[in-house]
A and B are shown apart, each in its own frame.
Chain A
Amino acid sequence: GDSVTQMEGPVTLSEEAFLTINCTYTATGYPSLFWYVQYPGEGLQLLLKATKADDKGSNKGFEATYRKETTSFHLEKGSVQVSDSAVYFCALSTSFGKGTSLLVTP
């Protein structure tokens, strides 16, 4: 069945540092891939998505590219801010990764 593996945190970065959160997947067919973000005390919200191979999803400075050859969908941001502190989930269908907690310090 479908499954997602993402790097576990917590990840602590200084403001303006580069962020990468790795995500790999196992799936039948060619599913859409998603990154969701969960701020403290809130539900998950979509951060970005990609619907086919080589698509790049982007939003709020975050990017992820759907790589079929490596079955990966790594999340990146060039310069993180304190307000990016949250838990990030990679997902396909109803399978979610275990979440990566990110803390950005001033």
Chain B
Amino acid sequence: DTAVSQTPKYLVTQMGNDKSIKCEQNLGHDTMYWYKQDSKKFLKIMFSYNNKELIINETVPNRFSPKSPDKAHLNLHINSLELGDSAVYFCASSLRTSGSSYNEQFFGPGTRLTVL
């Protein structure tokens, strides 16, 4: 099936640990994103890559580091996890935007991170 997939779906870990979330899309898109959704469902952009180049880097603690090995993959590594990092993290992809207009994004199923 064509889709955006994320692993793992659930991640429970202790404060201070380092963890990674992987994302893959087979839609042929050239732009990928990471979003954080908090407990109130508020969705905030964290990073975006276009053709492996970082194009959006919002105000996010530098404990979060994205890596895009190729156009189809965008991983998120988090160092020294804190309680406030608990959230659902969504990966998304789209075709390259044109001027000020973005194309529709396709979202993965999310990774629920719980930091104890």
**Bound: A45/B106 CA distance, A:** 7
By beta carbon, the residue of chain A nearest B4 is A43
**Bound: A29/B100 CA distance, A:** 6
**Bound: A29/B107 CA distance, A:** 25
By beta carbon, the residue of chain A nearest B110 is A43
**Bound: A27/B101 CA distance, A:** 10
Checking A45, A93, A99 against B43 with a beta-carbon cut-off of 8 angstroms, the contacting residue is: A99
Quick check: B109 and A43 within 8 Å, CB to CB? yes
Since A43-B107, A44-B43, A96-B44 are in contact, a sample of 14 more A-B pairs with Cβ atoms closer than 8 Å, ordered by chain A residue number, is A27-B100, A28-B100, A29-B99, A29-B100, A30-B100, A31-B100, A31-B101, A32-B104, A36-B107, A42-B110, A43-B109, A44-B92, A94-B56, A98-B40
**Bound: A36/B104 CA distance, A:** 9
B56 neighbours in A (Cβ, 8 Å): 94
1/0 contact string of B22-45 vs chain A (CB within 8 Å): 000000000001000000111111
B residues adjacent to A (C-beta < 8 A) = 4, 33, 40-45, 48, 56, 90, 92, 97, 99-110
Quick check: B104 and A34 within 8 Å, CB to CB? yes
Quick check: B42 and A98 within 8 Å, CB to CB? yes
A45 CB to nearest chain B CB (Å): 7
B110 neighbours in A (Cβ, 8 Å): 42-43
Q: Count A-B contacts at CB 8 Å.
A: 60
At the interface, yes or no: A46 with Cβ under 8 Å from chain B?
Answer: yes
Checking B33, B92, B101, B108 against A51 with a beta-carbon cut-off of 8 angstroms, the contacting residue is: B101
Most B CB contacts (10 A, CB to CB) among A29, A34, A38, A94 go to A94
Say yes or no: A92-B102 contact (C-beta < 8 A), given A43-B90, A43-B107, A43-B110.
Answer: yes
Instruction: Provide a sorted-by-A list of 18 A–B residue pairs whose CB atoms are within 8 angstroms.
Output: A28-B100, A32-B103, A34-B104, A38-B41, A43-B90, A43-B109, A44-B92, A44-B107, A45-B106, A45-B107, A46-B105, A51-B101, A89-B43, A93-B102, A96-B43, A98-B41, A99-B41, A101-B41
